Each structure stands twice: as C-alpha cells, then as structure tokens.
Amino acid sequence: MPIWRFTCFSLFFGVFLSSVPELTGSAELNIAVELGTIIHIDTSAHTNTKCKVCIRQDTQQLCQSSVVLRSDTLLDFSCSQPENVFTVQIIRDNVIYNIEPKEYNAFQKFNRTFIWNLKPPATKSCLHLNFSSTGLRQIQPTDSCPDKHVYMLAVENVSIGRFCPNGTIRQVDVRNTGKLSLEVSGGRALDKKVIGVSLGRLINSLANFHVVLPEKSSTQDFFTPVAFPENAETMWYFTVPHAYYTDVRILSYTVPTCLQPENIPTMKYTWQGKEPLVKLMNVSQPSVEPGNFNLAIKNCKISGPQPPSQGLMVHFQISAIKRSKGQCEGDLPEKQVLQIRVNKKDPKSTCVLKLDSVIMDTITIASGNHFVLNSFDCNKDEIELTVNQTIECKGWRDCASTSFPLTFNYEQQCIPGVLKTIIWLLHGPQNSAVKLQSPAEDLRYCPPEDKCNSIILLNVSHVSSGITLGQFCPKGTIQKIQIRESKIAITASVMSFNYQNLATKPFLTYSFTQDISEHYIFTVAPKMDNPTMLATPAWPSGIKASSTVSWIVNLEPQFKSNLKFRNVSQPKCKEVHTNIAVQTIRSQTTLYSTKKDEKIKDLLVPESFYLNVTNCKSPTGAFRAMMEITLQNSTNKLLGIILSIVGVVLVIVTAVGICFFLRKKKRNKAPPVSVYNPSEHAFLPGLHGIPKAQEEDEDPHTYVYIDETLVYSHLLKDDAEKEDYKEATADESDLKLDYSPLNNPALPERPVRKSENLVTKSNALIDNELYGYVQGQSTASDTPKTSEEEGNYETRLCV
C-alpha cells in the first residue's frame, strides 16, 4: 500500500511539472525589426492558453495574446517556453525586387511564417517569381515537406498551391497582386536561398507555372487552385528533355455545374507546331508525347451557388521517360486492298504504339490512308503483324485458267513487328471454282488436334459460311485442291518467329476455273515413306448435306495401296443413304461401295483410284470420315516387268550374235582377188565413176589375152598343178574367143539408177559379161545364179 501511494504521487507530480513552463516562469526577447517589415506574434493556434506576450509602453507593461511589431521591441512572455504557444509571422509589403529571406535568431525556436506581399506597379500587371535556386514541388493542402519548409502562393486572394523545395517548378508568373509565404517549423534554420522577382507583361491566366523536367525518369504531381474562381484559368509550361516522352494522367477531379454545359472545364494541350488538343476530364490524356508543351485548365461560369467540394479541382500527374523511338510513315497502296493490324502481344509491356498521336495496343492501317506509326521501347518480337489482302477477279478475261502466286508484296518494311498471319480473301467470278496448288512442295492435311510440326500452317475456309475446309502444312502428298466456291479465305500462320520468308516466298498458287461437279476435289500422290492422311472437309464436324467429296489418288505402277477407314461417322438419312465408293482409274472397276448399315471395310487397291464420298440430303447427325493410305510394293507386276526386260535383252543379244556369225562366214568363203591397175592410179567405183575407155589405136597397152600362168604361176606348188591349170585356162580361152554378140541373145535392159549415167551403165554390163565368163559361165546360160554365187560375185567386183 505505501508503494502504491508513492507511485500515484509521482505520476501526479510529473503531470504538474509538465504544465509549469506554460503557466509559470517568464522569457524575455529583444527584437530588432527591419525597416519595412511587420512581425505578428499570435496564439491563435492555442485559444485556451494563459501565456501572454508583454511589451512595455513608457512605464506600463501591456500583456495580451498577440502583438504586432513594427520597430525594435523588448518582449516579455509570461511563460518560460513561449515557442510552444506562439507563432510568428514576418511580413514584407510591396515586394517588386528579389526576395532574400532573413532569419530572426530570437524566433528560431518558434514556428514562423515569412510572408512577402507582391504588388507590381500600376503600369505592370505581372510578376515573375524565379525559383531556380530552390525549385518547387507542389503538394496537397494537408501534406508537409521533409525539411519543414513549406511555400504557399496566393494570387488575388486565391490560394494556388502549397510547395516543397527541390522540385521542378522553376518559375511562377502571378497576375496583379499576390502573396508568397514560407512556413518554417520551430527549431529549423531558415533556408536563405534568394527568390528572383522581375516584372513582366500582362497575362490572362491567374498564374503560370514553368516546369523543367529532369533528365531522368520522373513523375510530378500538380493541382489546380483551391476554390478555383469562375472563368479563371491556370497554365503550366513544361520543358521536356531531348529523347524524353511525357505521359499525362488525371488521378482525381471534380467539375462544377456550368451555366452553359458546352463550356465544361477541359484540359487543353498545345505542342509547338501542332494544333491544340482538347481533352475532357473523363477520357484518356496524351501519352508518350515528345517535346515541350503547354497545359491550360479553365473554369466555367457556374450555375448558382455551389459548395466548395463541388468546385473545379484537378489532380494530375506528368511522367517523363527516356525512350527509344521508331517511326514509320507512308501510304498503303490502294489497289492491293490491304489491311495491316499491328498488335502488342503483352498489354502490360513498356512498349508503346501510337497511330497519329493516339496510343493503342492494336492499330489497324488500311489501304488508301496516310499513316504515321510511332513505336517506343518496342522489341520486334513484342509486336505481331496480321495482314488482310483481298484479291478480286470479276471477269473471266482477267483471271481465267491463270495461276497467281499468293504473296504479300507490300514494300513498306518500316512497320515494326513480326509477320504472324496473312489472310487472303479470294473473290472469283460468279459460279466459278478455286484451284489451289503448291508450286514448291505438296500439302499435307493436318487435323485440328495435330500440331503439324511445321513453320507454316494453312487454313482454308468459306467466306460466306465461315466453314473451315481444313488445315494444311507443307511437305505432303496433296497436289491440288479444287473447291466449288467463288469466295474463299486462306489464312497462313507462322508458327515460328524465325521464319522470315512468309511475305516473299510463294508457297501457294491459286486460279479460278469453271464450275466443277463435286463440291471438293483433292488430287493426291501418296509416298512410300509416310502414310497419307485424308479427312472430309470441316473435320471433326460433318460435311454439309448433299455434299460430294472426291479424292483422285495417283499411284506409280510398282505400288499398290492399302486404304484404311480409321474413323467414320454415319448419320441417319430419310431417303438416299450416304455413300463411300472406290473405283480404279485405268480399268474403271468399282472395288467398293457402301450400303446402308454395312460395316466399312479396308481395301487393298492395286492401282490409281477414285475415292468418292457423298452425304445425303437431310442427315440426322454428322457425316465425317478419316482415311489413311499406305503404299506397298506390287511384287507380281514388278516381276513381270523384269522378265519382260530380260526377254527383250536376250532376243537382241541372239540376233546380234547370228548376224555377226553369218557375216564372218561370208567373209571366210570369199576367195582372194588381185586387180591389175595399168593406169597407175586408183579409183573407187561409185564415187568417181569408171574412167572413159580409150580408143584401141591410142592405147599401146591393150591386151587381147593374158596368160594367167605367167602371173600366178608362182602360187602353184608343183608342176602337176601347173599343167592342170594350163589346161583349164586354155579351155576358158577358147570359150572367150568363140563369144560374139551375134551368137548370144542380148541382155535385158535395166533401168538407170539415180547415181548412174548411161556410160557407167554400159560399162557395168560389159564388166558383168566379162566376169561372167571368167567364172566359167556364159551370160546366155540358162542356169540361174544362186544367191551365194551373187554375193561372191559382188564381193569380187568391189575388191
């Protein structure tokens, strides 16, 4: 109990001592007042205080709660710590020159306010307050500053803002009269930086703020004046560093009810060399704008009395960021009917796209329009490009049976981004069909659930109904696609950003043809290495009622195909049922045709074939089918081909061997022949002709008979052979001597050949007659010559 009483007493005594400095004791200050300065000492913040400030007048001492000092005075406070009770205002009037704050050391412990009343001469109505040495930063009315120095500015009794030092506001222009105040907390030394004051020309706005943004990323807050007067205007002049871009955002605002609604307060922006841009408070403000600009906010004529909370008030931010800029300006060619969509992939990215000074995440550029596209801090892979191109052919004269490549020929390459998608809209003549082919490599059908593993994915669809025919990739087996539709859409999507040839490399051609009998015709050439996948259009949905689809499957002779029906969905039909038919092309044999409620079977097709699919008129359910074609070697055909080739080779070899043997045999049977050439020059019969015979009188070397024993006797082996040969030659000589044309019939007349004349013909007859007797046979003999003898004769004659 004694301990508790002592504790309570100690607490009570401590509380009592804490109030003693205010109630007891005294403090005396000697104040030297500068000429033209007025000092107010007041306790308005502490209305219940009993501490007084006393000044001596003659012999009396006057004590009160406030005092005004205009000259040097000795102050006496009735409390020992008057700085906790009193505030001090140091006022200078009619300031038109530089402001040099002066500290009063006697009041350094007090909360003090330095006030400079600004009043330009009558001939001038504007004062420029230069804060270059300090710089100002505007704050909200309830905020304070870190260094306990708060500047306040009022113009014509209207508070236009509270500011802290070390900001971006370098100058403030005030119209007519104004008041600049500086609040300094007790115990803080006064910042004595000079504020320049100069006279200026008349301004229409209540105040002009000149802001110089720093060369670094920054964000500054600004506020309109409190209790904004009617029809009054405030302006901000922003100086932006090079390569920096500003964004304006309105954080909060209130607008009054205007007498004329069309005069509602707005934000009016002006850039040098551009028309003013006016924005309402409730819309997005300019962003990523380069260069210096002005901002003006003007109040309207208010309709009747309104509470201050409903007056004009705007809190906005100015952000400046250094950005890398890209610009593209041009015109899309009108004749190509192009539309380019530039899309930012990530809306939260720092990349900024602007079209004609308007920031958008998706920008659309159309043919025939001039555009200025700016991009800021954008990497190429952050932007996707989608191109729409309409290709129209109204008359058959312009497009009949002509293949055109599908390419994107726009030469304007400055548009940023990666080409992701190209959409071609093909519009052909009425009642026409579209034929698609791949000039480089065939197409491969790609089901929707398949990723295709390709850098390009093609999607073919109908424009009118939007039904997708299917997805296709390069490096396949589909050579041609024919569609009975005059308007189709082809979408080429790039699956890899590293592929840059989509716009320039023609990977697909199109042409318009006359109407076809089927709705779709696919020409397919399967390959041995991979199976060929086929599916009805619009898979996995069903094909339209009464639609017909045909696949022309071309096989090489050494292959046969295994046709498998992997997934077939049959609808219920009221009348004619759906049909799947397989027919060979060469033999026109129907290998398969489905019947109602029949299970579809796989087929082994020996040659090229047609695969036809037909839907019924009013199906209940979807009719779809997916097939697979696998090639196999056709061994029987291959063996027949090989045997045929071997047989032909054997026949040729046999014929060549027989001919060679017969010719060699003929050469062996021909006896050797010698020719005597008395003229000492050679000639070739048939090339130069036979020389003309000389007259007997003129030729001294004409012999009637030559004894061949004298010429060839050295070839005979013994005397017996010589005697036999003499007897034989003697007999032949007798026959020759007995020959006369009168005793023998004339030879038949033979026609003259193209290469002969009458002279060579007669000479040939003479030669024939002569050599006939040499052979021991008269030309008039009835015994005909055999073919072998004629051959020997021709051989001897040529030799």
DSSP string, 277-327: EEE-TTSPPP-SEES-EEEEEE---BSS---GGGS-EEEEEEEEEE--EEE
Tokens of 785: 């010559």
Predicted local confidence at residue 493, as pLDDT: 86
Q: What is the pLDDT of residue 713?
A: 53
Q: Could you read off the pLDDT of 638-665 as tens digits, one per residue?
A: 555 667 787 788 888 888 888 877 777 6
- Between 689 and 299, where is the model more confident? 299
Distance, CA of 145 to CA of 135 (rounded, Å): 13
**Has residue 381 got a pLDDT over 80?**
yes
Residues 6+ positions from 6 with CB-CB distance below 8 Å: none
Residue partners of 707: CB distance under 8 A and separation at least 6: 729
Greater model confidence, 793 or 36: 36
Point out the least confidently predicted range of 118-127, 129-138, 178-187, 599-608: 118-127
Q: Sorting pLDDT into bands at 50, 70 and 90, what band is 293? A: very high
Higher confidence at residue 672 or residue 325? 325
Q: How far apart are CA 764 and CA 422, in angstroms?
A: 87
What average pLDDT does the segment 733-752 reach? 43
Structure tokens at 597: 């409620």
pLDDT at residue 774 tops 80:
no
Residue-averaged pLDDT of the chain? 78
pLDDT at 417: 84
Q: Is 235 helix (H, G, I), strand (E, B) or coil?
A: strand
> Backbone phi, then psi, for 697, in 5-degree steps?
-65, -35
Residue 530 corresponds to which amino acid?
N
CB 88 within 8 A of CB 39: yes
| DSSP element (H, E) containing 10 | helix 2-18
Q: What is the DSSP letter of 741?
A: T
pLDDT per residue as tens digits for the range 99-158 = 999 888 889 899 999 999 988 876 667 889 999 988 999 999 889 999 999 999 999 889
Contact predicate 241/292, CB 8 Å? no
* C-beta of residue 436 within 8 angstroms of C-beta of residue 506: no
pLDDT band (50, 70, 90) for residue 792:
very low
Report the alpha-carbon distance of residue 128 to residue 175 in Å, rounded.
9
Mean pLDDT, rounded, for 777-786: 41
The answer to whether 520 touches 544, Cβ cutoff 8 Å, is no
Flag whether pLDDT at 18 surpasses 60.
Answer: no
Q: Higher model confidence: residue 598 or residue 300?
A: 300
Residue with tokens 């069909």: 433
pLDDT in tens, 542-592: 888 888 999 999 998 888 888 999 888 888 888 778 888 999 998 888 888
* Predicted local confidence at residue 786, as pLDDT: 43
Rounded CA separation 648/437 (Å): 41
pLDDT at 298: 94
Which range of 143-147, 336-340, 664-668 scores highest in mean pLDDT? It is 143-147
Report whether pLDDT(798) > 80.
no
CA quadruple 758, 761, 767, 770: dihedral sign: negative
Alpha carbons 754 and 686: distance in angstroms, whole number: 12
Residue 596: closest CA among 611, 582, 575, 617: 575
- Residue closest to 410 by CA, chosen among 354, 355, 334: 334
Residue 796 identity = R
Residue 57 three-state SS: strand
Across 688-696, average pLDDT: 45
Whether 34 shows a pLDDT value over 70: the answer reads yes
Q: What is the per-residue pLDDT for 499? A: 52
pLDDT band at 77 (very low <50, low <70, confident <90, very high): confident
Q: How far apart are CA 88 and CA 66, in angstroms?
A: 10
Rg of the chain over CA atoms, in angstroms?
A: 60
pLDDT confidence of residue 789 = 43
182 vs 191: CA distance, rounded Å = 10
Q: State how far the Cα of 753 lies from the Cα of 732, in Å rounded to an integer.
A: 33
Strand partners, 385: 342, 419
